[in-house]
Amino acid sequence: MIIKTLKRIFRPIAVPPINWFYNLLGKYYPRKLISIKFRSIYHRDMDWEHPLTLDEKINWQKIYSDTSHWTKLADKYLVRQFVAQRGLEDMLVKLYGRWEKAEQIDWQSLPQQFVMKANNGSGDILICSDKSKLNTDLETKKFKKVLHTRFGYKMAELHYNNIPPCIIAEELLDVRKQPINSSSLIDYKIWAFNGKPAYIWACYDRDVHSVQVGVYDLDWNFHPEYSVETDHYRIAKKQLPRPVALDKMLEAASILSKGFPQVRVDLYEVDGKAYFGELTFTSNAGFNNFYTEEFLRELGSQVILNV
C-alpha cells in the first residue's frame, strides 16, 4: 500500500528504482538526499553547520539560500537578456529561433548548420553540421521527451525544475578555428566569486565517454596537481596555449559574477573572439570530485555565504 501511494504521489515512469528513490528524496527531502550523496562520494558527513569546501558551500546554498535568481540565469534562453543587460551582448552566440513545443520547431527556417538544445537541459544537445542529413521527425520526438524531463530532483538542483521549458537554436561555432585541434569546443569554465575570477577549468576533446581537463590560474599557469583523474575526466597531458581573448573572458566573468557568492562562467573562444556559454551555480550538482580536497578547500575559502 505504501509503495503504491508513493508511486501515485511521484508518478515515476520507467526509471530505475535507485533513480526513483533519489528523485523522491530530492523532491521531498533534498537535504537528506545531499547528505546521502555527499557521504557516498566523499566518505564523510556533509558539514551543514560549518561548510568549508566548495562542494559543501554549493550544497548549503541549495537548501539555505535564495536560489530564485538561479532559475532565471540557468535558463539558457533568459540568461541571454542578463548578459546583454550587463553590457556583454557582443559575446552572445547568434540565436536562430525559440519554440515552446517540439512540434513548433521551424526546421525550414534554420541554416544548414546549427546547435539546438533545451533551455533547461543538461547535455541533450543536437549539433547539426548538415541539415540535409537530419531526421527531423526523430529529433522532434527526442526534444518532445526532453521538454517533459525534470532532472532537478535527482541531485537536489530544484531551481532547474522551475525553468519554463523551451527549445532554442543557435549558430554552430567552428571548432576548427580554435587554438588547438579539438573534437569539441574548448570550454573555458571560470570560477568566479562575487566579481572576482579565481581559476579557469579548461575542457576539450569532449565525447560521451571522456573529456580532457586542466586547471589554470589567472596567469595561465597549468596546475595538474589540483585535479583528480577519473574514467571520464582525464587530466590533460599538455598545457593549452593561452587564449587570445583571455583578458576579455576574465573581464566578462568578473562582470557576470558580481552579486553572487559563487558561479562558474562558461565561455568559448573561436577565431580569437570570446563567446558566452552559460552560467552554472551548481557545478556537477555540487559534487566536483575531480578536484583534490585541497583545491576544493581553496575554492571554498573564497565563497562568502549570506548567512
DSSP 235-286: EPSSPPPPPTTHHHHHHHHHHHHTT-S-EEEEEEEETTEEEEEEEESSGGGG
CB 228 within 8 A of CB 295: no
- What is d(CA 103, CA 114) in angstroms, rounded to the nearest whole number? 18
Looking at residues 83-94, what average pLDDT do you find?
98
Q: State yes or no: pLDDT of 109 exceeds 90.
A: yes
3-state helix, strand, coil in the chain (%, to 5): 40, 20, 40
Residues 284 and 218 in one domain: yes
Q: Is 61 exposed, middle or buried (0-12, 13-18, 19+ CB in 10 A)?
A: buried
CB 75 within 8 A of CB 161: no
pTM, rounded to two decimals: 0.92
Confidence label for 258 from pLDDT (cuts 50, 70 and 90):
very high
Residue 193: which residues within 8 A CB-CB, separation 6 or more? 257, 260, 261, 262, 302, 303, 304
Amino acid at 1: M
Of the residues 172, 191, 206, which one is the last residue of a structural domain? 172
Q: Give the per-residue pLDDT at 2.
A: 47
Identify the bridge partners of residue 214 per DSSP, sorted by sequence position.
Answer: 202
Residues 168 and 179 in one domain: no
pLDDT of 14-64, one tens digit each? Answer: 445 778 888 999 999 999 999 999 999 999 999 999 999 999 999 999 999
Confidence label for 8 from pLDDT (cuts 50, 70 and 90):
low
Looking at residues 91-98, what average pLDDT do you find?
98
Residues 151 and 187 in one domain: no
- What is d(CA 142, CA 67) in angstroms, rounded to the nearest whole number? 29
Residues 149 and 166 in one domain: yes
Residues 56 and 185 in one domain: yes
% residues pLDDT > 90 (the chain): 88
Block residue for cell numbers 596546475: 223
Residues 307 and 256 in one domain: yes
Of the residues 108, 143, 172, which one is the last residue of a structural domain? 172
- For the beta sheet containing 187-193, the strands, ordered from the edge strand earlier in sequence to the opposite edge, are 233-235, 211-217, 196-204, 187-193, 263-270, 273-280
Residues 243 and 191 in one domain: yes
Domain count, the chain: 3
Looking at residues 137-143, what average pLDDT do you find?
96
Q: State yes or no: pLDDT of 5 exceeds 70.
A: no
Residues 193 and 148 in one domain: no
Residues 133 and 1 in one domain: no
- For the beta sheet containing 114-118, the strands, ordered from the edge strand earlier in sequence to the opposite edge, are 95-99, 167-170, 114-118, 125-128
Q: How do strand 233-235 and strand 211-217 relate by DSSP bridges?
A: parallel
pLDDT of 172-195, one tens digit each? Answer: 999 999 999 999 999 999 999 999
Q: In terms of residue numbers, what domain contains 8?
A: 1-42
Q: State yes or no: pLDDT of 13 exceeds 60.
A: no
Residues 266 and 188 in one domain: yes
At 109, which helix (H) or strand (E)? none
DSSP annotation of 161 reads G
Residues 186 and 107 in one domain: no
Q: State yes or no: pLDDT of 12 exceeds 60.
A: no
* Helix, coil or strand: residue 78: coil
- Of the candidates 232, 278, 233, 225, the residue with the CA atom closest to the CA atom of residue 253: 278
Q: Give the per-residue pLDDT at 14.
A: 47
The chain-wide mean pLDDT, for the chain, equals 94
- What is d(CA 96, CA 111) in angstroms, rounded to the nearest whole number? 9
Q: State yes or no: pLDDT of 287 exceeds 50.
A: yes
